[in-house]
Amino acid sequence: MELPFAEPYKIKVVEPIYRSTRQEREAWIAEAHYNLFNLRSDQVYIDLLTDSGTGALSQMQWSEIMLGDESYAGSLSYHKLKDTIMKLLGMPYFLPAHQGRAAENVLFSAMLKAGDIVPGNSHFDTTKGHIEYRRAIAVDCTIDEAADTSLFHPFKGNIDVGKLEAVFQQYPKEKIPLCIITITNNTAGGQPVSMENIRKASEVCRKYGVPMFLDAARFAENAYFIKTREKGYQDKSIREIVLEMFSYADGATMSSKKDAIVNIGGFMACRDKSLYQKASVFNIMYEGFITYGGLAGRDLGALAQGLMEGTELDFLESRIGQVALLGQMLHDYGIPMQQPTGGHAVFIDASKFLPQVPREQFRAQTLAVELYLEGGVRGVEIGTILADRDPITRENRYPALELLRLAVPRRAYTNNHIAYVAACLKNIFDRRNEISKGLVIVEEAPIMRHFTVELKKA
């Protein structure tokens, strides 16, 4: 018989997690104002809130932490990371930052001004937040197929090159400082972007003289999907694919808390020395000197090591395989979700799961609360609450998709945990017709409200 694929690591350290009762959870979620961000972590049994900063470090990463050079300037850990970024991504200039959004802040401070237009494929919420805060506009040019959750498309994260070109034709070049391609496309469901699409987008950007940047939080997972789904890449190594993806880009920001499997860290990288010099000033103001950027030397070392581990095929196979396992179990139970499953998460289609709950009562948040009550599992709403209000009309923005994201941390949970989560959702699916009311907002912040919003039962 063919041997099944199993993890290329074993567990050396364990962290106990508390299995609460439903009664406890009912009290805790009411105290948290039905916002899962307000829960204490010991009130959560399985935490699928995010795959960001929640992965398990390897013994080699812990060794790097011991080797961390804490020199203020020119630390060896910095140089280790700089060499890794050059070798892996081919980017000659880089600035460390304490996480992805900090790298966005540094880059956008150097590149954006009020009134600018930044096209891309579903900018992540912090990216959009940083753009809109500067009174610039993020234009989502993702392919229409991404909005149809039941449609199978191998690269649902793609940018629609026609829509992108239309933006370039509508606005003068001076108003479009950059285009951002997010790999994988988190907002559309952790969906990959094909190499062909990255290349074509870069050709259009070049034609109009606009630099193309990658939001590379999950670049290695994107490379894995290219290897397994795109013609001509089966025999290429993950690192060859990574180098090719980056060869089309003028620069990148990265939240290293994802594919570099660290608890904190990020960076921006670019090819243009003058942009690097301009951004360095902002890095020093916001993050710290250019050779540490808000991180300890040990963090830089763990990040360099994590970039190498995150681009190993065996690791990616087990990681994306575990997410696919969750997707398959839910699919077998008939639960509607974004197909195919993404790299880091399963995205459940809450509008199809709970169509009877009015859209104004936040279907995905309602489902997230139900899942917590059922089994102590924490997911996150990727829907109307996350989408914020329109900056001009202040009306709720109803996105095409109302999703509950279950993001799987790297190397942290076993397949038994995955089966438990799937069983929780099946129980809710079986009694879905009993859920007719959702939630309403009591308090909200003007921007990025989902982190702090307070809700009550409708």
Minimal distance in Å, beta carbon 124 to ligand F0G? Answer: 4
Nearer to ligand F0G, 89 or 357 (CB): 89
Give me 98's structure tokens.
Answer: 């304490």
Stretch that binds ligand F0G, among 74-82, 98-106, 139-147, 332-340 (CB under 6 A): 98-106
Asked if 95 and 267 touch (Cβ cutoff 8 Å), the reply is yes
Question: Exposed/middle/buried for 19, CB within 10 Å: 0-12, 13-18, 19+?
Answer: exposed
Q: Which is catalytic among the residues 98, 123, 156, 258?
A: 258
Q: Does 96 sit behind a cis peptide bond, omega within 30 degrees of 0 on the bond before it?
A: no
Give, as ranges, the residues between 208 and 267 that touch ligand F0G (CB under 6 A).
215, 217, 255, 257, 266
Q: Which is catalytic among the residues 116, 125, 250, 299?
A: 125
Decide if 125 is catalytic: yes
With CB under 6 A as the contact rule, the residue among 126, 228, 280, 328 that binds ligand F0G is 126
CA end-to-end span of the chain: 54
Nearer to ligand F0G, 204 or 386 (CB): 386
Minimal distance in Å, beta carbon 40 to ligand F0G? Answer: 19
Which has the closest alpha carbon to 372: 17, 10, 21, 8?
Answer: 21
Nearer to ligand F0G, 55 or 266 (CB): 266
Asked if 97 and 300 touch (Cβ cutoff 8 Å), the reply is no
HSE toward the beta carbon, residue 421, CA cutoff 13 A: 31
Decide if 215 is catalytic: yes
Which has the closest alpha carbon to 251: 279, 224, 220, 223?
Answer: 279
Q: Does 191 bind ligand F0G (CB under 6 A)?
A: no
Minimal distance in Å, beta carbon 356 to ligand F0G? Answer: 29
Nearer to ligand F0G, 214 or 357 (CB): 214
Give me 308's structure tokens.
Answer: 């190498």
Q: Which is catalytic among the residues 72, 207, 419, 445?
A: 72
Q: Which is catalytic among the residues 51, 215, 250, 349?
A: 215
In angstroms, the CA 210 to CA 175 distance is 10
Per-residue mark of binding to ligand F0G, 322-341 (x: CB under 6 A): --------------------
Decide if 113 is catalytic: no
Using alpha carbons only, give the angle 89, 94, 95 rounded to the nearest 5 degrees: 140
Which has the closest alpha carbon to 291: 100, 70, 106?
Answer: 70
Nearer to ligand F0G, 52 or 311 (CB): 52
With CB under 6 A as the contact rule, the residue among 43, 52, 84, 365 that binds ligand F0G is 52
Give, as ranges, the residues between 145 and 184 that touch ligand F0G (CB under 6 A).
182
By CB under 6 A, the count of residues binding ligand F0G is 16
Decide if 450 is catalytic: yes
Where are the alpha helices (H) located in 46-99, listed in sequence order?
59-67, 76-89
Q: How far is CA 249 from CA 103, 270, 306, 407, 445, in A?
A: 16, 8, 22, 27, 35
In angstroms, the CA 298 to CA 73 distance is 14
Stretch that binds ligand F0G, among 95-103, 223-231, 332-340, 370-378 (CB under 6 A): 95-103
With CB under 6 A as the contact rule, the residue among 50, 54, 197, 339 that binds ligand F0G is 50
Give, as ranges, the residues between 378 and 407 that touch ligand F0G (CB under 6 A).
407
> Would you please indicate which residues are annotated as catalytic (active-site) residues?
72, 124-125, 215, 217, 258, 450
| Contacting positions for ligand F0G (CB under 6 A) | 50, 52, 99-101, 124, 126-127, 182, 186, 215, 217, 255, 257, 266, 407
